[in-house]
Chains A and B, each alone.
Chain A
Amino acid sequence: MTDTTVQTKALSRNQWWDVWDQFKTHKGAVVGGGFLLFITLAVLFGPYLWTLDPQRLDIRAKDMRPIYTLLWDSGAKVSWGHPFGTDNLGRDTMAKLMAGGQVSMAVGWVAMLLSIVMGTAIGVVAGYFKRFDGLLMRFTDLFLALPLLPLLLVIMMLFRDSLRKSFGPEMGIFILIVIGIGITSWMQTARIVRGDVLALKERDFILAARSIGTSPRHMISRHLLPNVMSPIMVSATLGLANAIITESALSFLGLGFPSDFPTWGKLLFDATDRMELYPERVIWPGICISFTVLSVNYIGDGLRDALDPRIRGR
C-alpha cells in the first residue's frame, strides 16, 4: 500500500489527478456528486431566484396543492405562485424546502464532521497507544451511557443564553445543536476505528514500518488512517442522515431552532399527521433527505475506490 503511494509521488503527475480520474469512472459517484452539487446550489442560491419568504403566512392561500396535481385532479386548489403548494398556514412549500435545506445541510455536515473527527481521533489514539486505551474506552462507555435527552436539556440550559448573546439567536442555537449532536454521536465511530486499528497494528506492513522507526504521527497518517477509511466513510454517511433527523427531533422537543424556522426534518415531522390529505408535504422533504444521504453514500463509495491504490491500478 505505501509503496504505491511512494511510486505515484515519484511521477511528476500529482497523485490526486489519479484519484480524480478513478473517481470520474465511478458512475454512482458522479451522479451522486452531481445531485449533491445541485441540491447545495439550489438551497444556497434558490432563495435569490424564488424570493418568497418561507415564514410569510398567507392564510387565504393555505393548503394549496402542488401544480402537478392538475394532471389527475383538475379541480385541485393550485396556483403558479406556489408551484409546490403551501402548508396549513399558507407558507410556500418551495421556499420552505430551500430555507429548510440550508439549515439541514449545514447542521448535518457540521455535526457529522465534528462527530467523525472526534470519533476517529479517539478511536485511533485508543487503538494505537495502549496506555490510553483503557481510559478512552471507559470514557466512551460513559458517553454511550448518558441519557441523551437530559444531557441536551442541560447543555441547552447552561449555554443557550451566553451563546445567544455572543452569536445572536440563530447562530447561537446552530452552534448548540451541532455540538449537541456531535458530542452525542461520536462513540460508534470511535469504537469501530479502534477495533480496526487494534487489528491493523499487528499486521505485517505496520510491523515493518515500525521496525524502520516510523514515527507514530507518520504511522497514523500514512498507514493507519488510509486503511480505516471505509468504515469511516460509512459512519459519515449514516452520521449525516442521523444528524439531519436528530435535529428535527430536537426542535420537536423545543431544544432546536424556533418553531417557525423550517428544516427538512421538521417539515417531514409536521406533515406526518396530514400525509393522507397532502402527501406532497411528506414526499418532498423525504426525498430531499434520503437523496442527499444516498448521494453522499455514492460519493463515499467512489472516493473509497479512488483512494484504494489496488483498485486504482487495475
Chain B
Amino acid sequence: MLNFTIRRLLISVPTLVFISLVIFLLLQLAPGDPMAQVPLTVPPEVKQKMREALGLGQPIHIQYWKWLVQFFWVEPLHLFDYMFNTVYSEGMQRVISWQTRSPVMDIVAQRIPQTLWVVGMSYVLGIMIALPLGIISAYKQYSIFDQVGTFISMVGFSVPTFFTGVLLIVVFSVQLQWFPSIYDTTHKVTDFSSLMFQIKQMIMPVSVLALYNAAQIGRFMRASMLDNLNQDYVRTARAKGLPEKVVVLVHVLRNSMIPVITVIALGVPQVFGGAIITEQVFKVNGLGQLLITAIQANDLPMVQTLTFIFAILIVLFNLIADVLYGVLDPRIRYD
C-alpha cells in the first residue's frame, strides 16, 4: 500500500501539470475580457492600453510559463520567507490578480477562514447527519423514520439553494429578525458573546448547505447499507451469535463505506471551492464568491490559481479515497 501511495504521488505531479495546462488553455479560449466591467464611458483605446498593462498581449506560452514559475517557485519561496523571516523571494513577481493588482495567494489566505467556518462546518455537519440517517434508514427500511428522512432529503436536494437561502432570510431575518441576513467576515470570536454572534450568523448558511450535503451522502449511505444487509456474510455473522450492534455497525458498515467514502472525498475539494450560490445569498464572501467574481471579471491569474488549487485537492483526496478502499477492504489491491 505504501508503494502504491508513493507511486501515485509521483504520478500526480505530471498529472497536475497537465491539468494546469488544460485549465490554462481553456481559460484562454473562453470568451470574456477583463475590461468587461470597466464602464462604457472609457474609450476602447484606453481599454487596450489597460489590457497591455496586464500583460495580455504576450504570447500564450510565455504567459503560461510565467504562471508556472510564479506558482511553483515564487509562491512557495514567499511562503518560506513569511514563515522564517527570510528574503529569498524579494523582488520576484508573485501571481498577481488583474482585478485587485495584488497577490492572489494573499486574498486566498484571507478567504479561507470564512469558507472553512461556513462551508467546512456545514460539510462536517452534513456528514454527521448523513451517516446515522443512512444507517438507521437502511436498517429500518420503510419505517416512518426512513420515509420522513427520504422525503426531507429528496426535497432538500431538489430545491435549489438560491431559493432555500432566500426563503430562510425572508422568514428568519425579515419576519422574525432572529439572525442577520448578511455575514460579517470581519467578526472575530474572542469571548462568549462574540461566539454566540458567530453561531447566529452561521446558522442559516450552514443549515442550507448541511441539508444539501446530508441529503446526498445520506442517500448513498442508505443504498449501500441496504445492499450489504442482505448479504450472506451478515447471516453468517448473526448465526455465529455476534451481537446485532456489532454486525451492523462493524461488519455491514465497514463493507458499505466504499461508495460513501468516494462521495465524501469528492466533496472535500468542493468545500474549498466554496458554495458559490449560498455564499452569494448570505454574502459570506468565501472562496466560492472569489472564484465567481474572478470569472465574471475574467481575472485569469486568479481563476487559474484557484482552479489549480482545487485540482490539487481533488487529486489528493481521490488518492486518499483509493488508499482508504484498501484499508476498508483488504482484498482490494492495486499492485
Binding site for B on A (CB under 8 A): 28, 134, 137-138, 140-142, 144-147, 149-151, 153-154, 157, 187-188, 191-192, 195-196, 198-199, 202-203, 227, 230-231, 233-234, 237-238, 241, 244-245, 248-249, 265, 268-269, 272, 275-276, 282, 286, 289-290, 292-294, 297-298, 304, 308, 310-311
Contacts and interface: CB of A to CB of B under 8 A. Distances in A.
Given A153-B31, A241-B158, A275-B167, A196 B310 contact: no
Contacts, number: 162
B23 interface: yes
A128 to B, nearest CB: 13
Interface string B1-44: 00000000001000100110011001101111000000000000
A289 B23 CA distance: 34
B113 interface: no
B160 interface: yes
Contact of A137 (B150, B157, B160, B318): B318
B321 interface: yes
A290 B255 CA distance: 31
Interface residues of B, number: 60
Given A195-B262, A233-B223, A147 B158 contact: no
A142 B16 CA distance: 8
Contact of A275 (B170, B227, B269): B170
B226 to A, nearest CB: 7
Given A231-B223, A234-B219, A310 B259 contact: no
Contacts of A28: 142, 147
Interface of B: 11, 15, 18-19, 22-23, 26-27, 29-32, 142, 147, 150-151, 154-155, 157-160, 162-163, 166-167, 170, 216, 219-220, 223-224, 226-227, 230, 255, 258-259, 261-263, 266, 269, 291-292, 295, 303, 307-308, 310-311, 314-315, 318, 321, 325, 329, 331-333
A195 B154 contact: no
A304 B226 contact: yes
A297 B310 CA distance: 31
Contacts of A237: 154, 219
Contacts of A233: 223
A120 to B, nearest CB: 13
Given A154-B30, A188-B263, 15 more contacts: A142-B15, A142-B19, A145-B315, A150-B303, A154-B29, A157-B29, A191-B266, A192-B262, A196-B258, A198-B325, A234-B219, A268-B160, A290-B159, A293-B158, A304-B223
B224 A145 contact: no
21 contacts: A140-B318, A142-B18, A144-B318, A145-B310, A150-B295, A191-B266, A195-B259, A195-B261, A199-B255, A238-B219, A241-B154, A245-B158, A245-B160, A268-B163, A269-B162, A269-B163, A275-B163, A293-B154, A293-B157, A294-B154, A294-B155
B158 A290 contact: yes
B23 A146 contact: yes
Contacts of B167: 275
A157 B31 contact: yes
A202 B329 contact: yes
Contacts of B311: 141, 144-145
B332 A198 contact: yes
A134 B26 CA distance: 23
A149 B27 CA distance: 10
Nearest to B224: A231
A272 B162 contact: yes
A145 B220 contact: no
Contacts of A272: 162-163, 166
A79 to B, nearest CB: 27
Nearest to B222: A234
B172 to A, nearest CB: 14
Contact of A289 (B32, B159, B333): B159
B151 A294 contact: yes
B159 A286 contact: yes
A109 to B, nearest CB: 14
B331 A199 contact: yes
B154 A297 contact: yes
A233 to B, nearest CB: 7
A150 B30 contact: yes
Nearest 8 Cβ contacts at the A-B interface: A145-B311, A202-B331, A241-B158, A293-B158, A150-B30, A230-B223, A290-B158, A290-B155
A27 to B, nearest CB: 9
B26 A146 contact: yes
Contacts of B216: 238
Given A144-B314, A188-B263, A150 B170 contact: no
Given A153-B30, A157-B31, A286-B163, A145 B157 contact: no
A134 B226 contact: no
